[in-house]
């Protein structure tokens, strides 16, 4: 087995390592903060040469690309970790995966040359399993999201506010397949313009009455499929 | 993951991560290849249940058996509970998502009396009849265990069988018996229970009849058959170093009460405080070796990634090799940024050296438990600490830069007078004073002393088991007297709800007749009584009244020394004559030396076990 640590010398300053992973299934029900806690332990278990903050209560440093709200599955998440020694990326990936379940899988580990602040857009696949789903309803959903304004009650720092989110919806396409409505949307995720995809579902619920039946028969899922830079290129 | 909980429901409840399962290190087996499906229920929330060491140990002990699959079950929080009832979703196990009612054995760990209603509610959610006699052959065997099983009588009618004492060896034996009887075709529930009653440490309440005297006290327990033991002796693990201990922990995705490695250092306590049930029922005192503990700690750290190791014990500083252990641990924990925490420090053994080791990385609050305000009362309860001990301990803490300490007391203790309670205020004042006398105290922040006072609850198998609890009026009067006596702003005063303690006392010393009240409570959907927001004293008084039960008969009555006690059916090792001796000494304010100084012949040595002190 290739060792995790490639070189025992301590790096000054600490290096940043990027981990790309997906999280599906049960992991969607874990809050962002709990995922942070989980990863802290995963990183220790995996034996990474973590860089610890100075001071009274030293902690490893790592951060996630974008907030992950409850109910969100994702094929494209990024995490940056500070490390104090040079590592073999492939070995790190394997060690992480040994310490994760099948619902959370690391796809790639590399030394990045970009910063999370450059992330601008995220793409999502939203599936609605709702009564009345057909071609026509799918079309209506797509049109509703392409229209303007798209007004929702949005949580902001200063409480809930009626907000037109149409400028944050960059793309939306709807289709109908296997009894379900599929939405492919691209939303802004810049710091001030972060749009939680839940609002898309909420808006359709309120305006078109989708998903108003029993939770035993109806459901929806939200899957993040990619993160993009300002000009729409895939963010790495 | 529990696929049977639908995403629409999970998305609509708080903290859905409580219900999804799929945790790292959780154990998944092929159900077609196991003989015994075992559901281990914790009658409280996931966050509390996941932090319970006993569950972790037994989960490991049972799953080490290839033919047993032990899964975990927790009580759904009220929002989820509502949805489950609304949509008819039955209670299911965490690992497989299969309905609890389809398991072979369903066990409940009874950690505190106030969880009884939650346990019954879980049975209801599982779709099982509450009373053992109403459940048919197809229903699982319902087992109870944990600290409350030392007096199982108040819930005896709901359970088929109780595991008494330490379960690491007993529960796998029970499963083996079950598997064997199923395989050979000998199994019927009653045949199984009859056989199980012959195993050491299992109590089958339906195999005994209880008769009562005219005054309402118990006359006798009579086994229904010759081969049913007259008393049930608790099980112990003889050699703790050889006991099963998990090397991997199921890692919760969500924050739980104790997110850390928990190392059990010893069992039992040398002290013999007269109010403390744990100090009696976990005897004889057995210890793990530092070498074994250190190896375990490292292994658990590597398999969990937790950055804190907590050594647990009823009284950690009484662990005879504590210095050796902390030295061994510090050899590797420091450089890996792992911190050590030692709860339950005794006042008289609190040393500068220990403090340095423990606070080497992380510092938290410091708590001491003098338990009573005057020396007379501390002697009566056999606490064996003095005011000087306390002043010295807080002096060390203040000198090391601490400026807040927490002091635990109890009120309503046997022989207590209002003066004893008011003296708590004086003691707290002296602690504040001690701060200002400490030369190198932390001057950056003001001193703060928290006085936390709970109410005494007489518990089975303690020298105070016979003593009636103070009446509510008296408890409240004492609480108020102390509140008035604490004038200093630097002293914060918290007190425990006396009404909760009263109900606790009813169940702690209750007998089988209480099941009538519990049945009514279950009908009322009462649960989570350990949570302030759900506990309702009025509801309890109402169900007692409707069941024809006088709570004072159980809580406030002083039991006769020769009375047959509801828990006489259990033998926890410690003899009644020893408890009587201690009871009488209490009223003479006489202390008893601890086991390390002198063996007092409590009787627990008859259970055997590798112990240092027991003669
Ligand atoms: S047998 Fe003696 S030493 Fe052992 S627990 Fe009892 S009193 Fe203590």
Pick from B281, B282, B283, B318 the residue to mutate for probing ligand 1's pocket: most ligand atoms within 8 Å of its CB. Answer: B283
The structure tokens listed for B44 are 């409280």
Residue B362 confidence (pLDDT):
40
Average pLDDT rounded to a whole number, residues A150-161: 86
Question: Percentage of residues in chain A with pLDDT exceeding 90?
Answer: 81
For the cut 50, the answer to whether the pLDDT of residue B62 exceeds it is yes
**Which chain A residues touch B249 with a CB distance below 8 Å?**
none
| B332 and A CB contact within 8 Å | no
Inter-chain CB proximity A35 and B9 less than 8 Å:
no
Task: Measure CA of the first residue to CA of the last residue in chain A; give whole Å.
Answer: 27
The SS3 assignment for B145 reads strand
Q: Which of B77, B85, B254, B332 to mutate to test the interface with A (most CBs of A within 10 A)?
A: B254
For the cut 90, the answer to whether the pLDDT of residue B176 exceeds it is yes
For the cut 80, the answer to whether the pLDDT of residue A121 exceeds it is yes
Exposed / middle / buried, residue A192 (Cβ in 10 Å: 0-12, 13-18, 19+): exposed
The SS3 assignment for B535 reads coil
Map tokens 């939303």 to a residue: A187
pLDDT band at A89 (very low <50, low <70, confident <90, very high): very high
pLDDT tens profile B120-161: 999 999 999 999 999 999 999 999 999 999 999 999 999 999
Residue B351 confidence (pLDDT):
78
Q: Give the whole-angstrom CA distance, residue B102 versus residue B569.
A: 31
Asked whether B607 lines ligand 1 (CB < 6 A), one says no
pLDDT band at B361 (very low <50, low <70, confident <90, very high): very low
- SS3 annotation, B595-607: CCCCCCCCCHHHH
Element (H, E) at A228: strand A219-228
For the cut 70, the answer to whether the pLDDT of residue B558 exceeds it is yes
Residue A37 confidence (pLDDT):
93
Domains of chain A in start order, with CATH, are 11-116 (3.30.70.580), 119-229 (3.30.70.3190)
C-alpha dihedral (B41, B43, B46, B49), degrees to nearest 10? -80
Q: Which of B307, B359, B362 to mutate to test the interface with A (most CBs of A within 10 A)?
A: B307
For the cut 60, the answer to whether the pLDDT of residue B360 exceeds it is no
Q: Give the whole-angstrom CA distance, residue B501 versus residue B554.
A: 12
Q: How far is the CA of B282 from the centre of ligand 1 (A)?
A: 11
Q: Which chain B residue lies closest to A35 (C-alpha atoms)? A: B253
pLDDT band at B27 (very low <50, low <70, confident <90, very high): very high
Per-residue burial over A72-111, b if 16 or more Cβ lie within 10 Å, else e, is bbbbbbbbbbbbbbbbbbebbbbbbbebbbebbbbeebee
Residue B4 confidence (pLDDT):
53
What does the radius of gyration of chain A's CA atoms come to, in whole angstroms? 20
Parallel, antiparallel, or unpaired for β B36-42 and B68-74? parallel
Q: How far is the CA of B405 from the centre of ligand 1 (A)?
A: 32
| A111 and B CB contact within 8 Å | no
Q: Which residues contact A215 (CB under 8 A, 6 or more apart)?
A: B6, B8, B9, B12, B83, B87
Residue B5 confidence (pLDDT):
62
Helix%, strand%, coil% for chain B, nearest 5: 40, 15, 45
pLDDT band at B366 (very low <50, low <70, confident <90, very high): confident
Residue B611 confidence (pLDDT):
85
- Ligand 1, atom 8, lies closest to the CA of B595
pLDDT tens profile A191-219: 778 899 999 999 999 999 999 988 888 89
| B259 and A CB contact within 8 Å | yes
pLDDT top residue among B60 and A194: B60
What does the radius of gyration of chain B's CA atoms come to, in whole angstroms? 24
Q: Give the whole-angstrom CA distance, residue B570 versus residue B582.
A: 20
The whole-chain average pLDDT of chain B stands at: 93
Q: Give the whole-angstrom CA distance, residue B251 versus residue A41.
A: 9
Q: What is the DSSP string of A148-216?
A: S--EEEEEETTEEEEEE-GGGEEEEEEEEETTEEEEEEEEE-SSTT---THHHHHHHHHHH-TT-S-TT
Taking a C-beta distance cutoff of 8 angstroms, is the pair B73, B21 a contact? no
pLDDT tens profile B251-290: 999 999 888 999 999 999 999 999 999 999 999 999 999 9
Q: How many CA atoms lie within 13 A of B360 on its CB side?
A: 22
User: Count of CB contacts below 8 A, A vs B?
Assistant: 85
Domains of chain B in start order, with CATH, are 7-164+167-233 (3.40.50.280), 240-509+559-605 (3.80.30.20)
Q: Give the whole-angstrom CA distance, residue B531 versus residue B536.
A: 10
């Amino acid at each position: 087995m290739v060792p995790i640590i490639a070189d025992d010398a301590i790096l000054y300053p600490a290096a940043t390592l990027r981990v790309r992973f997906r999280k599906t299934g049960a992991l969607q029900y874990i809050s962002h903060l709990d995922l942070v806690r989980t990863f802290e332990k995963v990183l220790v278990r995996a034996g990474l040469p973590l860089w610890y903050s100075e001071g009274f209560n030293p902690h490893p440093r790592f951060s996630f690309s974008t907030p992950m709200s409850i109910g969100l599955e994702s094929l494209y998440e990024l995490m940056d970790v500070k490390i104090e020694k040079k590592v073999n990326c492939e070995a790190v990936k394997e060690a992480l995966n040994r310490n994760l379940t099948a619902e959370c899988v690391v796809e790639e580990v590399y030394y990045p040359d970009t910063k999370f602040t450059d992330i601008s857009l995220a793409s999502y696949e939203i599936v609605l399993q709702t009564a009345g789903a057909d071609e026509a309803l799918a079309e209506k959903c797509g049109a509703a999201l392409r229209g303007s304004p798209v007004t929702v009650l949005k949580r902001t720092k200063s409480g809930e506010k009626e907000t037109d989110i149409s400028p944050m919806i960059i793309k939306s396409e709807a289709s109908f397949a296997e009894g379900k409505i599929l939405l492919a949307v691209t939303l802004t995720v810049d710091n001030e313009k972060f749009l939680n995809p839940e609002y898309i579902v909420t808006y359709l619920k309120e305006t078109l009455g989708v998903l108003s039946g029993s939770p035993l028969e109806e459901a929806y899922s939200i899957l993040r499929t990619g993160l993009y830079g300002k000009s729409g290129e895939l963010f790495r | 993951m529990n696929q049977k909980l639908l995403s629409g429901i999970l998305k609509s409840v708080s903290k859905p991560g409580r219900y999804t399962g799929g945790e790292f290190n959780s154990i998944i087996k092929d159900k077609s290849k196991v003989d015994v499906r075992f559901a281990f229920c914790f009658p409280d929330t996931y966050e509390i249940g996941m932090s319970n060491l006993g569950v972790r140990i037994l989960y490991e002990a049972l799953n080490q058996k290839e033919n047993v699959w032990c899964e975990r079950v927790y009580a759904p929080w009220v929002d989820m509970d509502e949805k489950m009832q609304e949509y008819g979703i039955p209670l299911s196990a965490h690992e497989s998502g299969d309905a609890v009612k389809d398991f072979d054995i369903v066990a409940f760990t009874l950690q505190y009396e106030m969880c009884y209603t939650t346990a019954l509610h879980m049975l209801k959610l599982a779709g099982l009849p509450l009373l053992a006699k109403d459940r048919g052959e197809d229903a699982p065997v319902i087992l109870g265990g944990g600290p409350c099983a030392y007096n199982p009588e108040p819930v005896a009618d709901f359970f088929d069988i109780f595991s008494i004492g330490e379960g690491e060896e007993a529960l796998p034996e029970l499963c083996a018996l079950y598997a064997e009887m199923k395989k050979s075709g000998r199994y019927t529930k009653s045949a199984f229970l009859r056989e199980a009653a012959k195993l050491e440490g299992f109590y089958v309440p339906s195999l005994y009849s209880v008769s009562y005297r005219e005054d309402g006290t118990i006359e006798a327990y009579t086994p229904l058959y010759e081969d049913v033991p007259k008393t049930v002796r608790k099980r112990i693990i003889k050699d703790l170093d050889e006991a099963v201990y998990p090397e991997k922990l199921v890692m919760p995705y969500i924050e739980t009460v104790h997110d850390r490695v928990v190392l059990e250092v010893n069992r039992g306590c040398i002290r013999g405080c007269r109010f403390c049930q744990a100090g009696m029922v976990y005897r004889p005192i057995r210890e793990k070796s530092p070498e074994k503990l250190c190896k375990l700690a490292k292994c658990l750290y590597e398999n969990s990634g937790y950055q804190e190791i907590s050594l647990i014990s009823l009284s950690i500083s009484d662990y005879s090799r504590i210095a050796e252990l902390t030295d061994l641990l510090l050899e590797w924990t420091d450089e890996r940024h792992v911190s050590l925490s030692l709860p339950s420090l005794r006042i008289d053994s609190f040393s500068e050296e220990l403090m340095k080791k423990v606070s080497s990385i992380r510092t938290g609050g410091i708590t001491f438990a003098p338990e009573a305000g005057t020396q007379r009362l501390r002697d009566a309860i056999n606490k064996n600490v003095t005011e000087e001990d306390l002043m010295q301990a807080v002096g060390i803490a203040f000198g090391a830069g601490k400026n807040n300490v927490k002091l635990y007391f109890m009120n309503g203790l046997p022989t207590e007078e209002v003066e004893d309670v008011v003296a708590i205020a004086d003691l707290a004042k002296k602690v504040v004073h001690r701060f200002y006398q400490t030369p190198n105290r932390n001057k950056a922040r003001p001193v703060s002393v928290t006085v936390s006072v709970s109410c005494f609850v007489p518990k089975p198998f303690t020298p105070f088991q016979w003593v009636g609890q103070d009446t509510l009026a008296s408890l409240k009067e004492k609480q108020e007297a102390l509140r008035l006596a604490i004038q200093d702003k630097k002293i914060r005063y918290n007190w425990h709800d006396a009404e909760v303690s009263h109900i606790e006392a009813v169940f702690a010393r209750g007998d089988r007749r209480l099941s009538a009240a519990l049945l009514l409570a279950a009908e009322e959907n009462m649960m989570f009584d350990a949570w302030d927001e759900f506990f309702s004293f009025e509801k309890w008084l109402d169900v007692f009244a409707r069941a024809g039960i006088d709570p004072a008969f159980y809580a406030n009555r002083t039991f006769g020394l020769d009375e047959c006690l509801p828990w006489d059916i259990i033998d926890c090792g410690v003899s009644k004559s020893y408890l009587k001796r201690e009871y009488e000494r209490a009223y003479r304010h006489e202390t008893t030396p601890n086991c390390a100084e002198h063996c007092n012949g409590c009787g627990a040595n008859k259970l055997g076990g590798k112990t240092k002190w027991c003669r």
